[in-house]
Amino acid sequence: MIRNSQCETGISFVGCGSATPKKIINNNQLGQRVDTNDEWIQSRTGIGERRVIGENESLIDLATDAALNAVKMANWDVKTIDLIILATSTPEDLFGSAPKIQSNLKASNAVAFDLTAACSGFLFALVTASQYLASGSMKRAVVIGADQLTKWVDWDDRKTCVLFGDGAGAVAIETTDNQDGLIGYDLKSDGSKGGCLNLFQSNIFLDLVQGAKHQKGEYLPIKMEGKEVYKFAVKEVPIILGELLDKYQIKPESIDWLLLHQANQRILDAVASRFSIPSEKVLSNLKHYGNTSAATIPLMLDEAVRDQRIKPGDLIACSGFGAGLSWGAALFFWHGPY
């Protein structure tokens, strides 16, 4: 079922920010580790390099910087933030990393929590935050997508390790009495296909006391059936986006920007071609960051806002997809500055 915001209060996108690690690893460098090469990776994925969190960096610091940049763009006093949602599958603390970000931001009036939906996480978190705003119970929210998949990648598996990188992005959204910036959205899950892409816990049990064992808290590296995930994305993303466009009677040619989860250039191209959206309207920074999971959408948004490709009032068609399996789409207007 497609939902729209159906709220008395509209939502406005007023700020965005991002932060990425310093260390860049290019495809040729990866070729020193596994049997791969720049030509293969570029032609199959569009990825040229990725960023990897190093010893003096942390995901929480990146997420904090991304959030702070979004708050600065929105020109907010941090004390006016009501809600912080951190979309991540790679928290530094399994109990949640968002409260630490709230404390770093000195956003003492905000409630903060993590949300996990893998590469769809940012979109799921955005829609979740929008409910609090639409209900009138909160006015300002920061939604962060941040992931450090490089700590869960098997760096000896060339089929997966070339794809992922680390990063963080954020948006600042607030209630508005003017036009609702979030036109509509839809979110979906299909756990029956979850085996295609996962980061499972290991199944190790250790002796606890006589006659009882306890499970060891430990995770296995990312496992992926690349072809299945590819087929899922190129099938489901056009369907969910197409249904949303139909519902709001928006023609694909009215879209200013196609902003998809950055997983593979071939997926971006395939979705764009289904709607005859020209390549100039397809946002892509895969070449520099690879797949940063929950961070890709706000990272790309921030880049395109700050270099003034995205202008105030532009209509953005957005879709995220990934492990779960989970996927979603949203249509929104950028209301922020630049």
List active site positions. Answer: 119, 261, 291
Residue with tokens 């993303």: 237
Beta-carbon contacts of 280 under 8 Å, excluding residues fewer than 6 positions away, are none
Question: Is there a contact between 184 and 330 (Cβ–Cβ < 8 Å)?
Answer: yes
Question: Is there a contact between 281 and 256 (Cβ–Cβ < 8 Å)?
Answer: yes
Q: Which is nearer to ligand COA, 5 or 120 (CB)?
A: 120
Q: Which is nearer to ligand COA, 67 or 153 (CB)?
A: 153
- Output the smallest distance, CB 331 to ligand COA, in A: 21
Q: Which of residues 196-235 bind ligand COA (CB under 6 A)?
A: 224, 226-227, 229-230
Cα separation, 203 vs 187, in Å, equals 31
User: Is residue 194 within the footprint of ligand COA (CB under 6 A)?
Assistant: no
Instruction: Give 267-271 contacts, CB < 8 A, sequence gap 24+.
Output: 267/230, 267/233, 267/234, 267/237, 268/46, 270/234, 271/233, 271/234, 271/237, 271/238, 271/241, 271/319
β-sheet with 83-87: strand ranges across:
10-19, 166-176, 140-148, 83-87, 111-115
User: Is residue 87 within the footprint of ligand COA (CB under 6 A)?
Assistant: no
197: β partners? 224
- Output the smallest distance, CB 161 to ligand COA, in A: 8
Q: Which of residues 267-306 bind ligand COA (CB under 6 A)?
A: 291
Pick the piece of the chain touching ligand COA (CB under 6 A) from 34-42, 96-104, 105-113, 304-312. 34-42
Cα separation, 235 vs 333, in Å, equals 25
Q: Which is nearer to ligand COA, 21 or 165 (CB)?
A: 165
88: nearest Cα among 113, 64, 115: 115
User: Is residue 40 within the footprint of ligand COA (CB under 6 A)?
Assistant: yes
Site track for ligand COA across 153-182, x = CB under 6 A: -----xx--xx-------------------
Determine whether 21 is exposed, middle or buried from the number of CB atoms within 10 Å of its CB (0-12, 13-18, 19+): buried
> Which residue minimizes CB distance to ligand COA?
226
- Output the smallest distance, CB 108 to ligand COA, in A: 35
User: Is residue 338 within the footprint of ligand COA (CB under 6 A)?
Assistant: no
59: β partners? none
Q: Which is nearer to ligand COA, 230 or 338 (CB)?
A: 230
Question: Is there a contact between 145 and 62 (Cβ–Cβ < 8 Å)?
Answer: no
Cα separation, 41 vs 215, in Å, equals 38
User: Is residue 264 within the footprint of ligand COA (CB under 6 A)?
Assistant: yes
Site track for ligand COA across 42-71, x = CB under 6 A: --xx--------------------------
Among 15, 46, 167, 322, binds ligand COA (CB under 6 A): 322
Q: Which is nearer to ligand COA, 270 or 315 (CB)?
A: 270
User: Is residue 260 within the footprint of ligand COA (CB under 6 A)?
Assistant: no
Q: Which is nearer to ligand COA, 159 or 213 (CB)?
A: 159
Among 119, 126, 299, 331, binds ligand COA (CB under 6 A): 119
Cα separation, 304 vs 71, in Å, equals 17
Question: Is there a contact between 168 and 297 (Cβ–Cβ < 8 Å)?
Answer: no
- Residues near ligand COA (CB under 6 A) are 36, 40-41, 44-45, 119, 158-159, 162-163, 224, 226-227, 229-230, 263-264, 291, 322
